[in-house]
Structure 1
Amino acid sequence: MLMTRADPVAFQDPEEVCSKSPFRVLLVEDDLIHFMYCENVLQSIYGDKLVLERAVDCSGAIDALNTKEFEICLLDYLVKDGNAKDVLARVDFGHVTTPVIVVSAFDDREFVLEALRHGADDYVIKGRFSGGDLRQAIEYAIYRKYKELRLRQRALYDQLTGLANRNLLFDRLDETHRFAARHAEKFAVMVIDLDKLKLVNDTKGHEAGDRLIQVTADALVSSLRASDTVARVGGDEFVVIMKNIRDKQGLARLGANILRTVQTRTAAECGMMESISCSIGIAVFPDDTKSQAEMLRMADAAMYAVKRNGGGSFKFA
């Protein structure tokens, strides 16, 4: 799912990353002599595990970082056609998880701080590092990137389900709204709430309730497209953003499928004789309103109208 769950690969333990085989390194260096020096130092650290790729200019470095995965990148501060800042400014660190160590010929604090401000994780001084120094810098950079990614995950993703949280939901809603308004497209918002979570919590405990929420999250993800965003915004409340909607007939079919999938999976998980249903409210842009906030309010009101009628259904705003 796009922007729905945190990527588990990005959060490997630093010790696992440091011991990986192969250990993939991107070395951005246009000087052959220094490239060979770095290659020898890396070889002394990682031996046969080392898989080394070289880039000799800014465009090659940017392309490699944005399209491939490495355990570490050693980025020469002054490189053909630019410098480390030029590379770091054009790398999408929203998605790129490779730690970057800047290799600088200048032992200058301002130089170093500038590189770190632009996204580098550590630095070493060219020609002055031993195998032990470089290993320490690499391990530190990997650990720093791990901490950064964990903080990013906590800021944007729900810890129980791995779904987008409220912060990421509003970011995606704004992005989808702007795109739809510019290109005269429709999109929809669904507000989904489980009908009997309290019954599960009271009869089976809160651990079972949490598991029910996780199963519901999985059911929603499996029912939707890769371009849709699924978020958990409360205890048992979810919001779905669906791009490029054609008509309400298609949304009705999708709503019915979500009801069936959630009911089937949660009932099987909880082992209850009576299946567990959900209530769904749906609002469509621009048919119902052109306001993001009003879409959420209208979908939420439609969902509560379903609940008042016993749940287990969907309703359009």
Structure 2
Amino acid sequence: MLIGDSDTLAFQDPEEVCAKSPFHVLVVEDDLVHFTYCQHVLHSLYGKDLELERAVDCQGAIDLLSSGRFDICLLDYMVKGGNAKDVLTRIDFGSVETPVIVISALDDRDTMLEALRYGADDYVVKGRFAESDLNRAIQYAIYRKYKEMRLRQRALYDPLTGLANRHLFFDRLDEVHRFSARHGEKYAVMVVDLDRLKHVNDTKGHEAGDRYIRAAANALVCSMRSSDTVARAGGDEFVAILKNIRDKQSLMRLCAVVKDNIAAKAAAEEDLPGPLTCSIGIAVNPDDTETPAEMLRLADAAMYQVKRLGGNGFRFA
């Protein structure tokens, strides 16, 4: 989906995070003495801006961290029910942006590297960090998480539209295929190609073409469910994975919505020439084929049949 939607990265600038009020902190610590120490240091740093929550065991830490409500997490290395590795390996850091600082009584290189390897953003030694040490660690962790998310965005998302790129699309396609086969569900692949965009690029320039592409991307996201994946395949072509398909009638309605939304979003752009139409091809698994690669090929072929007939329509494989 587009940046800002539930399926993508919507991370904040680190300076905004560091200056937030209230500043939400999760402390995972089952020892009251050490928790009180952390609480004291955090209150010294943030005063009335601090909003603090505590977890005392692995499951509590996982549940709270997975909520994504916190600006930073201080995670005790040894916690009731397991350790930091048990917590970190069960968090989906692809969707959870909270930086994690591991706090441990163990001051050794191997323990520190293990924590970092499993997803921690920094490491401090229990009972031996001053206010300035913790402040530095928090700011470092927030900046490190921001850079990590930026790198992930560049690797997996299209820079023009914010949609998933081809690499992420094929990863999601494989994931949906396995899930659907396991649960006996149908899914569909939709290929959407914008009509006559080359003429816009040639006559009005690529800036106008890019605005049409962004408008179409926005329209596709608005047309889909949050559980679906929309990607830019390249140029003026988009692909979508539609989960848990009931019948072709619902897909036909969706195609009409996609066409209308693309036309409306493009029409809302100022100083762009004429309406924007699209050609759509759809393949359904397992009705049309049982392999993801063949699904994409069939949907693409259906789209080109629409294109050859003048565009502005849809066709099933």
User: Could you state the TM-score of these two structures normalised by the residue count of structure 1?
Assistant: 0.94
Question: Which residue of structure 1 aligns with residue 29 of structure 2?
Answer: 29
Q: Which whole-Å CA distance do the structure 1 matches of 2:164 and 2:228 have between them?
A: 11
Question: Which residue of structure 2 aligns with residue 66 of structure 1?
Answer: 66
Cα-to-partner distance string for 1:189-209 (whole Å, 9 max, x where unaligned): 111101121222223221121
For residues 154-165 of structure 1, the aligned pairs below 5 Å read: 154-165=154-165
Q: Cα distance, 1:98 vs. partner?
A: 0.9
Amino acid of the residue matched to residue 215 of structure 1?
A
User: Could you state the TM-score of these two structures normalised by the residue count of structure 2?
Assistant: 0.94
Cα-to-partner distance string for 1:190-229 (whole Å, 9 max, x where unaligned): 1110112122222322112111111001111112222221
Amino acid of the residue matched to residue 8 of structure 2?
A
Q: Cα distance, 1:273 vs. partner?
A: 6.0
Q: Cα distance, 1:300 vs. partner?
A: 0.7
Q: Which whole-Å CA distance do the structure 2 matches of 1:91 and 1:192 have between them?
A: 34
Q: Which whole-Å CA distance do the structure 1 matches of 2:223 and 2:258 have between them?
A: 6
Question: Which residue of structure 1 aligns with residue 9 of structure 2?
Answer: 7
Give aligned-pair identity as a percent.
Answer: 69
Structure 1 residues 79, 217: CA separation in 2 closer, same or farther (over 3 Å shift)? same
Amino acid of the residue matched to residue 260 of structure 1?
D
Any unmatched runs of 5+ in structure 2? Answer: none
Cα-to-partner distance string for 1:56-89 (whole Å, 9 max, x where unaligned): 2222211211124111111111222222112212
Indicate conservation of the 8 Å contact 1:5/1:164, yes or no: no
Structure 1 residues 203, 89: CA separation in 2 closer, same or farther (over 3 Å shift)? same
CA RMSD of aligned residues (A): 1.8
Cα-to-partner distance string for 1:87-127 (whole Å, 9 max, x where unaligned): 21222222211111111112111111111111111011112
Q: Which whole-Å CA distance do the structure 2 matches of 1:92 and 1:4 have between them?
A: 14
- The number of aligned residues is 315
Q: Which whole-Å CA distance do the structure 1 matches of 2:243 and 2:104 have between them?
A: 45
Q: Cα distance, 1:271 vs. partner?
A: 4.4
Structure 1 residues 40, 303: CA separation in 2 closer, same or farther (over 3 Å shift)? same
Question: Which residue of structure 1 aligns with residue 206 of structure 2?
Answer: 206
SS at match of 2:227: coil
Structure 1 residues 60, 117: CA separation in 2 closer, same or farther (over 3 Å shift)? same
Q: Relative to structure 2, which stretch is displaced further, 266-275 or 90-99? A: 266-275
Q: Which whole-Å CA distance do the structure 1 matches of 2:7 and 2:243 have between them?
A: 17
Q: Which whole-Å CA distance do the structure 1 matches of 2:123 and 2:181 have between them?
A: 45
Any unmatched runs of 5+ in structure 1? Answer: none
